[in-house]
Amino acid sequence: MTGAGQGLGRVVAVTLARAGADVVVNDRDPGRAAAVADEIVRDGGRATPAVFDVTDWSAVRAGVESAGAIDILVNNAGNNGRVGSLDLSDFAPFAETSPEDWESFLRVNLYGVMHAVRAVLPGMIDRATGRIVTVISDAGRVGEPTMAAYSAAKAGAAGFSRSVAREVGRHGITVNCVSLGTLSAPHRDSGPPTAERAAAQDRALGRYVIRRTGEPEEVAALVEFLVGPMAGWITGQTYPVNGGYSFAL
């Protein structure tokens, strides 16, 4: 699982381990990868750290080869490649941006997904089994002002996943996406409550039918289902987990 050293990735990794998976905990930070792997082992599960940057194709290929047979891939590494979640300082109107600004979003959110999928697919095809789930954002489904490059990268990952799903279904491999709204983030939500923070949260949640941020465990539950045995006839789909921020037909 990529990007599993913190946040949502950590919760999904722990959830899959508790369901019986041998988890390869990827993160580009050795300490984070080791910490989550150790947490899983202390909980009675099986996990090993795998340290590489998903934007580096050679490193991804080497990391996958070292891990051995991989039958489940969860692509969670994302944002713009830096530590922590995105905030408003990461975005600007597209007319005020340059190709250099777009590059970090495309490299991790699109090319990172493509690298990981390309690395695991030959083995999955040989074994005639596999589950691939990519975490994207509702920005890629509905578009967001000032987030054009990020939205494009996430939409690209979804389109890529649909194409690959059509190629590999005959090999018993499913490929799906989970599209997120705003999740709770301890580093962002911590600190004493203030009127300013409350007003900002009300504005942020104004477009949500369910007026709260999502919890990582709610996403992990869907990922666990999509990689499990009961989801073998589901492929090429994007499932929003977003509190009703947008609807899907």
- The residues carrying an active-site annotation are 150
Distance separating alpha carbons of residues 49 and 60, to the nearest angstrom: 13
Task: Specify the DSSP element, H or E, that contains 98.
Answer: none
Helix boundaries (H) for the chain? 7-18, 30-42, 57-67, 99-106, 112-127, 139-142, 148-168, 186-189, 195-204, 216-226
Distance separating alpha carbons of residues 9 and 119, to the nearest angstrom: 20
Quote the Cα angle for 146-152-153, to 5°.
Answer: 115
Tell me, what DSSP letter sits at residue 170? Answer: G
The distance in angstroms from the start CA to the end CA of the chain is 29
Count other Cβ atoms within 10 Å, centred on residue 94: 15
